[in-house]
């Protein structure tokens, strides 16, 4: 895992839909509460304090790499970090998620979303990225929250079940919605550019809750700002992954935003997902994370089913359909990595 040797390329080859010597695998939320070594060093304060500590964040990012032998590392940070760093008033409450002191409610709140200056506002993120690039011999994935998902936190003020305020705002005042989404796109672009310039080899745009929208609303209200994000990083030449949960109905649109890799949750098969995105776009996914709690026989069968559904296509990055739950036994994830590496093939 030391950075002495040149970085391994299986993950990046799959991102570019090129054949590799194995099917690469990593897990969303691979760092975190399912790991005893994470719980041992994380402390009890806000995760935002842990993220602001570059040495701690570096170590937390490396923990799953050591344990699992995954093919990519993901920066330990959070999608609300830029919003927090510009002083919008965000905390991440343990067991709840992001909570906003004064939710976004009207035009006057736009000025609270000023541009991000990564060197000044999030120097600790860049220090963590630089530390990691020096320590890793696999690629580091940087990330940002997509405008819709970050807006949903800013507007709802806390995790939501129905996203009613967000949907009401976008339909009642489209001009305000587009102005908000545009500012959040700029935040994501500034953050992603700074992570890549510090050494990240790929980026993932998390639009975790976009699947709450119908396809027509996704196209009208979300696609323009997410397209702006991918356009804003295109010159950097690193692959872009576009992820959401429950987004099967508009996977093709998510690809059209300018992504190289599309995240697929467990609701549709990889074979079906491939019919919905253009040729040359890679897929990432799609084991149902809940199955990790069902015992190894179930997990092994489900892992093999994901590989079978991909049918040897070179553009496949094995992952879960969403993040690792805290209750998951890390030993199971270790076995999944070994199985994917032993049995996955990318022969087209």
Q: CB of 273 within 8 A of CB of 262? A: yes
Catalytic pick among 153, 186, 218, 288: 153
Cis peptide bond prior to 303, omega within 30° of 0 = no
- Beta strands at 97-100 and 90-93: parallel, antiparallel or unpaired: antiparallel
Closest CA to 252 of 228, 280, 229: 280
What span, in angstroms and rounded, lies between the C-alpha atoms of 250 and 168? 21
DSSP 160-180: -SS-HHHHHHHHH-HHHHHHH
Minimum distance of ligand CP3 from residue 330's CB (angstroms): 13
Catalog residues that contact ligand CP3 under the rule CB under 6 A: 28-33, 42, 47, 74, 76, 78-79, 92, 94-95, 97-98, 143, 206, 208, 323
Does 276 participate in catalysis according to the annotation?
no
Beta bridge partners of 145: 206
Does 288 participate in catalysis according to the annotation?
no
CB-based burial, 252-278: b 16+ in 10 Å, e otherwise: ebbbbbbbbbbbbbbbbbbeebbebbe
Which of 100/282 has CB closer to ligand CP3?
Answer: 100
- Beta strands at 90-93 and 202-206: parallel, antiparallel or unpaired: unpaired
Burial group, residue 106, by CB count within 10 angstroms (0-12, 13-18, 19+): exposed
Q: In the bound complex, which residue of the shown chain has the CB atom lying closest to ligand CP3?
A: 208
Q: Say how far residue 57 (Cα) sits from the centre of its chain.
A: 17
What span, in angstroms and rounded, lies between the C-alpha atoms of 167 and 217? 9
Catalytic pick among 33, 67, 114, 345: 33
Q: Which residue has the tokens 């030993």?
A: 331
Minimum distance of ligand CP3 from residue 280's CB (angstroms): 26
Minimum distance of ligand CP3 from residue 94's CB (angstroms): 5
Which of 157/314 has CB closer to ligand CP3?
Answer: 157
Which of 68/76 has CB closer to ligand CP3?
Answer: 76
Which of 74/283 has CB closer to ligand CP3?
Answer: 74
Cis peptide bond prior to 340, omega within 30° of 0 = no
Minimum distance of ligand CP3 from residue 204's CB (angstroms): 7
Q: 71: part of which helix (H) or strand (E)? A: none
Catalytic pick among 8, 38, 42, 163: 42
Minimum distance of ligand CP3 from residue 171's CB (angstroms): 23
What span, in angstroms and rounded, lies between the C-alpha atoms of 152 and 172? 15
Does 218 participate in catalysis according to the annotation?
no
- Beta strands at 140-145 and 97-100: parallel, antiparallel or unpaired: unpaired
Catalytic pick among 38, 68, 71, 78: 78
Minimum distance of ligand CP3 from residue 108's CB (angstroms): 26
What span, in angstroms and rounded, lies between the C-alpha atoms of 102 and 60? 31
Which of 88/206 has CB closer to ligand CP3?
Answer: 206
Minimum distance of ligand CP3 from residue 139's CB (angstroms): 14
Q: Say how far residue 105 (Cα) sits from the centre of its chain.
A: 27
Q: Which residue has the tokens 């010597």?
A: 21
Which residues, other chains included, contact 40 with Cβ-Cβ below 8 Å and sequence gap of 6+?
A: none
Which of 83/190 has CB closer to ligand CP3?
Answer: 83
Which of 62/190 has CB closer to ligand CP3?
Answer: 62
Does 38 participate in catalysis according to the annotation?
no
Which residues are marked as active site?
29, 33, 42, 78, 153
């Amino acid at each position: 895992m030391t950075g002495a040797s040149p970085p391994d390329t299986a993950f990046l080859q799959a991102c570019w839909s090129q054949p590799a010597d194995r099917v690469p695998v990593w897990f969303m939320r691979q760092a975190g509460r399912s790991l005893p070594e994470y719980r041992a060093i994380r402390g009890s304060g806000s995760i935002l304090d842990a993220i602001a500590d570059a040495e701690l964040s570096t170590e937390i990012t490396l923990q799953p790499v050591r344990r699992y032998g995954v093919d990519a590392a993901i920066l330990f940070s959070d999608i609300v970090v830029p919003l927090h760093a510009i002083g919008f008033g965000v905390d991440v409450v343990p067991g709840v998620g992001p909570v906003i002191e004064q939710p976004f409610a009207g035009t006057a709140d736009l000025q609270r979303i000023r541009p991000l200056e990564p060197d000044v506002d999030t120097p600790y993120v860049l220090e963590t990225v630089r530390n990691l690039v020096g320590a890793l011999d696999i690629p580091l994935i940087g990330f940002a929250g997509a405008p819709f998902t970050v807006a949903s936190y800013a507007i709802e003020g806390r995790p939501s079940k129905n996203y009613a305020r967000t949907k009401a705002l976008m339909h009642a005042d489209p001009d305000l919605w587009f102005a908000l989404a545009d500012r959040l796109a700029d935040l994501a672009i500034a953050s992603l550019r700074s992570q890549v310039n510090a050494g990240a080899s790929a980026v993932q745009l998390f639009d975790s809750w976009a699947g709450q929208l119908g396809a027509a609303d996704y196209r009208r209200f979300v696609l323009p700002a997410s397209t702006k994000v991918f356009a804003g990083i295109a010159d950097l030449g690193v692959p872009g992954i576009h992820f959401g949960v429950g987004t099967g109905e508009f996977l093709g649109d998510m690809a059209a935003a300018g992504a190289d890799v599309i995240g697929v949750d467990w609701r549709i098969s990889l074979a079906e997902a491939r019919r919905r995105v253009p040729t040359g776009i890679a897929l990432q996914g799609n084991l149902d994370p809940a199955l990790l709690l069902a015992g190894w026989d179930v997990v092994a069968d489900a892992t093999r089913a994901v590989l079978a559904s991909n049918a040897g296509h070179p553009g496949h990055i094995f992952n879960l359909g969403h993040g690792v739950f805290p209750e998951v036994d890390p030993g199971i994830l270790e076995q999944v990595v070994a199985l994917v590496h032993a049995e996955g093939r990318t022969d087209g």
